[in-house]
Amino acid sequence: MSLATGTVAERVATLRERVDEVTVASGREPGSVAILAVTKTQPRDAVLAALDAGVRDVGENYVVEARRKYDHLPPCTTHFVGHVQTNKAKAIAGLFDRSEERRVGKECRSR
């Protein structure tokens, strides 16, 4: 199945199979590589469908979008993806579970 067609659940299953094939081929355990579903431009219903299909990590690069989409999600890990603007660092630290930007860590420590 193409990742461009099918339901969200079908596309997640196809992606998981492909990732697991490559993971096993590299000598690692299947399921040991996480899939980060970036939700940019996707509606909340699509995020919920991905979580229902087994995705456990979701990412967004817009704080305003994440506030709308990520409110009261089922258990998952939320990631901020992208450059952190200084004026949004505190909001990112309070809204997302993870980010690679150093400024977020600094804001978290100062709370």
pLDDT in tens, 19-71: 999 999 999 999 999 999 999 999 999 999 999 999 999 999 999 999 999 99
The pLDDT value recorded for residue 59 is 95
The pLDDT value recorded for residue 102 is 54
pLDDT in tens, 79-111: 999 888 889 999 999 999 998 665 545 555 555
Virtual torsion, Cα 110, 93, 84, 109, nearest 10 deg:
20
The pLDDT value recorded for residue 42 is 94
The pLDDT value recorded for residue 85 is 86
44-52 helix and 8-25 helix, angle to the nearest 10 degrees: 50
The pLDDT value recorded for residue 64 is 93
**Whether the predicted pLDDT of 78 surpasses 80:** yes
